[in-house]
Amino acid sequence: MITQKMKYALKALLVLADEAAKGQPEPLTIEEIAKRSGTPKRFLEHILLEVRNAGVIASIRGRSGGYSLIKKPSDISISELLRTIDGPIAPLPCLSRRAYQRCEDCTDEATCRIRKVFAEVFWSYLVIIDSLTLADMLRSGTVAEQVIGAE
């Protein structure tokens, strides 16, 4: 399950991607992004800072400043964004690629039935989520609605 924070990040990025699709996109203020995405401004500031630090968007200061995409939507990985915003996405710490930890109560990972079942489900999920980009969400309103939901 993705967090509300991740949903807000996706909504904001979709707004910025829509703006980038215009011939001469203008940087959008945080107020404008919040308005277009239906996201509370107070949460958006912190989220956009994280996304900026991940190298996905840029912030421009000044009267005509705001936020804009610096990567193409096809280069913005949904799984990387999930990890940036929500942290590890594995259902068990022993299945995580980047934040692996042995489970405290596990005596043998090789024979752990819980790990085996969740590994099968998780790897199937990873194949799909690792292939998704922001461009995929832009192309399919139905997929975007399923992923970020209506509030």
Which tens digits make up the pLDDT trace of 42-84? Answer: 989 999 999 999 999 999 888 878 999 999 999 999 999 999 9
More confidently predicted of 131 and 144: 131
- Asked whether residue 142 carries a pLDDT value surpassing 60, the answer given is no
Cβ atoms < 10 Å from Cβ of 93: 14
Give per-residue pLDDT as tens, 13-48. 999 999 988 877 789 999 999 999 999 999 899 999
**Residue 82 domain-assigned (yes or no):** no
Please choose, from the candidates 119, 115, 87, 118, the residue with its C-alpha nearest in 3D space to the C-alpha of residue 103.
115
If asked whether residues 142 and 123 sit together in one domain, one would say no
If asked whether residues 95 and 41 sit together in one domain, one would say no
If asked whether residues 46 and 108 sit together in one domain, one would say no
Two tokens at 137?
A: 């969400």
If asked whether residues 14 and 34 sit together in one domain, one would say yes
Average pLDDT of the segment spanning 93-110: 88
What is the pTM assigned to this prediction?
A: 0.82
Cα 45 off chain centre by: 15
**Residue 85 domain-assigned (yes or no):** no
Percent of the chain with pLDDT over 90: 63
**Residue 84 domain-assigned (yes or no):** no
Residue 42 near residue 49 (C-beta atoms within 8 A): no
- Tell me the CB-side half-sphere exposure of residue 124, using CA atoms within 13 A: 6
How many structural domains does the chain have?
A: 2
**Residue 83 domain-assigned (yes or no):** no
If asked whether residues 53 and 111 sit together in one domain, one would say no
User: Whole domain around residue 128: which residue ranges?
Assistant: 90-132
**Residue 97 domain-assigned (yes or no):** yes
CATH of residue 45: 1.10.10.10
If asked whether residues 112 and 57 sit together in one domain, one would say no
